[in-house]
Amino acid sequence: MKNNKIIEGLQKFPLLQSIPEKQLQWLGEHLEIAEVPKGGYLFERGSPIDHLLLIFEGDFELYLLQNNNRKAFGRLQKYDISGLLPFSRAKEASGFAVAIKPGKVGRLHRNHLKELIQGHYELTEVLVHEMNNRIRNITQIEVQNEKLIALGKLSAGLAHELNNPASAMVRSAALLQQHLMGLPADFKQVIKIKTEDEAIDEVNRFMYQKLEEKPTELTLLEKNTLEDDLYDWFSDCSLDDKYDLVPLLVEYQFNTEDLQFVKSLLREEDFNPVLKWIVQNMTTHKTVTDIKEASSRIETLVQSVKTYSYMDQSLDFQLLDLHQGLQSTLNVLNHKIGKVGHEVITKFDQNLPKIKGLPGELNQVWTNLIDNAIDALPDKDGKLTIWTKGRGNFANVYIQDNGHGIPEEYANRIFEPFFTTKEVGKGTGLGLDVTQKIIKQHNGQVKVTSKPGETIFEVCLPIGQNSEEENT
């Protein structure tokens, strides 16, 4: 393109229509015109951002590679401006721009930026304004992505955590239904029993004592020994279904002395139906207990979500218990902690008073810090430690992991927006930036110390201070 045609082309850019012609002439004289064939790249991930780019012709798709999957996030089309802008600190492209159709692009090298800024005010102003718009748009997109990532983690955790107790309830209900269907046949044997009221009361008392006891956990060797003893004892009895009875008797830790005691209260012919009746009661008790525990787990999870999100409560500054927020966050992230057997240690200062804060935002802080700590844990023997401590007028929260640590060259950059060491698609680089902004909103501080095998994030929050009032 000749210079006059370049200037005519520049005048068609909506952003440049108010720029004095002299400045457009300067721009046209310093532009390099490049043609990009269909399928060619305007830029690729990792390529240096050294040129201001003005699209005279063409249509370019912008995309990222996330876990080797291509994810489109925008387009560059005719009369768009991209690439290097005045005062921008961007160094390398984070994505790709591929030509959907052939394009012509004007390129201004960064070596001309100083002259541009010093001698062409209106042109600089327009480009800086465009950079601000770009930052605002990208930030909005990334903040939304951060929220979606957090929501995805929460949803995945809840689905996993709710599925286990829900499945247990379904299994237990099916077993209970199957068990109840077999009772009528055994009931015939029970009603034929002839014994004294005192013996029946004693059997009942003994059985419910066993049901209410919480025996110590048996080792595998102890279980096998008890099983063998019961099978040997039953070998002298005419029980056809002893192989069905023994496992449950072992679970409730019935030994041969217990069976002998029950047998001593009854006639010989009554022992078998009474023993079956005891086992049936234990089966019902165990199944109902399993359903109760699963239901309680679901109730706890639902309550954790309500506490975590502060559903049905004010979202304004309010007195809140830091331990409650930390515990509900751990409950929500439990699936991620437990699936690989990480150890979690909590040491909460029970004398720590409530603080004034925004509960939803602080829970987002705990989520970001705990989730990052979990990601940093080693594959084996991972340990996550969370403790709190009151210091004067401040409440301190510490979140420690025994992972690989933060490299020294990154230590001063981890709170920068969009900075991340995670793979593309696994982090936006906004988690710690958002964390720091929320803590500052509460007039607090967050800092980190790290070395291989030990990284500690410390959050310091004022006690009894309403940040909103302080800032008005």
Q: Give 385-407 pLDDT, tens digit per residue.
A: 999 999 888 999 999 999 888 87
Looking at the DSSP bridge assignments, the partners of residue 72 are 63
Residue-averaged pLDDT of the chain: 80
Residues 6+ apart with CB under 8 A from 210: 252, 253, 254, 258, 282
Share of the chain above pLDDT 90, in %: 26
* Residue entry with tokens 């004398």: 351
Q: Which residue has the higher pLDDT, 459 or 438?
A: 459
Tens digit of pLDDT for each residue in 105-144? Answer: 999 999 999 999 999 999 999 988 887 777 666 666 555 5
The dihedral through the CA atoms of 266, 271, 276, 278 has a sign that is positive
Lowest mean pLDDT among 111-115, 411-415, 423-427: 423-427
CB-CB contact of 218 with 247 (8 Å): no
CB-CB contact of 42 with 101 (8 Å): no
Helices (H) and strands (E) in the chain, counts: 15, 13
pTM (2 d.p.): 0.46
The dihedral through the CA atoms of 305, 311, 316, 321 has a sign that is negative
**Residue 427 in 3-state DSSP?**
coil
C-alpha of 405 from chain center: 20
For residue 323, the model assigns a pLDDT of 93
Is residue 90 classed exposed, middle or buried when 0-12, 13-18 and 19+ CB atoms within 10 A define those classes? middle
Tens digit of pLDDT for each residue in 41-90? Answer: 999 988 999 999 999 999 999 888 766 777 777 889 999 998 888 887 77
- What is the token pair recorded at 178? 């199957």
DSSP character for 48?
Answer: B
Confidence band, pLDDT 50/70/90 cuts, at residue 428:
very low
**Residue 436 in 3-state DSSP?**
helix
